[in-house]
């Protein structure tokens, strides 16, 4: 196969890219899905969730933070990668309190949808059942840290888009936790607003609106009707159209 300028190969398919794009950027632009939870169009990638791990020129890398390079050979759909992604998803489930049947986010939850996409039929690992602080101090928004997967989306969106810097992740490893950047540490003392991207971007049920539940019945929600892969690719198309319009 002739290698074209500004081309990488994902599972043997030639994918064009522009300078500065990551493997994830190039893949999504070509409607090739790489599983991910912490990636969001327009936000600086962080590589937190590690679900987008791919093999690039013989090395395991995060697709969202690794630059695309001319002639790069990338493997995305292999048995080894599928097993690794499933194990990561299983660990995310047991590390927090994710009880899907009783969660208002069910059907709209990206973690739940990823489990379905990867064929996760059981959690495999023992439950951590963590006791983490709940924060109901905000008049409109509820923070349940027990469901937080530390993707960092609320942190990055609050800083980069909302320009408010409401959230941060403190600690490392098993001690990592989501905090609120106020003197009291309470969400109610922050300037978070229901219209902020940070209040709407959580992929799980960690940041929820009060007095706002089951508006869309279970069975008719986003991931009840579509695979997470189709939703992600459609969102990228809409984002690209928005960029062209701007």
- Beta strand pairing call for 13-16 and 59-62: unpaired
- pLDDT class of 228 with cuts at 50, 70, 90: very high
- pLDDT class of 2 with cuts at 50, 70, 90: very low
- pLDDT class of 131 with cuts at 50, 70, 90: confident
- Integer-rounded Cα Rg, in Å, for the chain is 19
Tokens of 25: 């950027």
pLDDT tens across 93-104, in order? 999 999 998 899
pLDDT tens across 63-110, in order? 999 999 999 999 999 999 999 999 999 999 999 999 998 899 999 999
pLDDT in the model for residue 242? 59
Give the residue among 76, 88, 25 at the shortest CA–CA distance from 51.
88
- pLDDT class of 246 with cuts at 50, 70, 90: very low
CA 196/CA 189 separation, integer angstroms: 15
- pLDDT class of 62 with cuts at 50, 70, 90: very high
Domains in the chain, please, with CATH? Answer: 7-78+229-245 (3.10.20.740), 131-213 (3.30.70.20)
The answer to whether the beta carbons of residues 161 and 201 sit under 8 Å apart is: no
Average of per-residue pLDDT across 26-46: 94
Tokens of 139: 């008049």
pLDDT in the model for residue 3? 40
The answer to whether the beta carbons of residues 54 and 61 sit under 8 Å apart is: yes
Q: Write out the DSSP string of 22-49.
A: BHHHHHHHTT-----SS--TTSPP---S
CA 126/CA 59 separation, integer angstroms: 30
Residue 22 contacts by C-beta under 8 Å, 6 or more apart in sequence?
45, 63, 64, 65, 66, 67, 68
Greater pLDDT, 131 or 207: 207
- The DSSP letter of residue 143 is E
């Amino acid at each position: 196969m002739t290698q074209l300028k500004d081309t990488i190969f994902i599972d043997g398919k030639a994918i064009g890219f522009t300078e500065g794009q990551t493997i994830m950027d190039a893949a999504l632009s070509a409607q090739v899905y790489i599983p991910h939870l912490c990636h969001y169009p327009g936000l600086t990638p962080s590589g937190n969730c590690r679900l987008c791990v791919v093999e690039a020129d013989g090395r395991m890398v995060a697709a969202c933070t690794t630059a695309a390079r001319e002639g790069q050979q990338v493997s995305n759909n292999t048995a080894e990668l599928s097993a690794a992604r499933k194990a990561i998803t299983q660990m995310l489930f047991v590390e927090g309190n994710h009880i899907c049947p009783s969660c208002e986010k069910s059907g709209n939850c990206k973690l739940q949808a990823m489990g379905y996409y990867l064929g996760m039929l059981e959690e495999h690992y023992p439950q951590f059942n963590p006791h983490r602080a709940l924060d109901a101090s905000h008049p409109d928004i509820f923070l349940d840290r027990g469901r937080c997967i530390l993707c960092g989306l609320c942190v990055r969106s609050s800083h980069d888009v909302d320009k408010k810097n409401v959230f941060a992740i403190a600690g490392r490893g098993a001690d990592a936790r989501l905090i609120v950047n106020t003197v009291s540490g309470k969400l109610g003392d922050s300037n978070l607003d229901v219209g902020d991207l940070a209040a709407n971007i959580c992929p799980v049920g960690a940041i929820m609106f009060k007095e706002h539940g089951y508006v869309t019945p279970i069975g008719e929600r986003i991931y009840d009707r579509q695979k997470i892969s189709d939703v992600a690719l459609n969102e990228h198309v809409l984002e690209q159209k928005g960029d062209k319009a701007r």
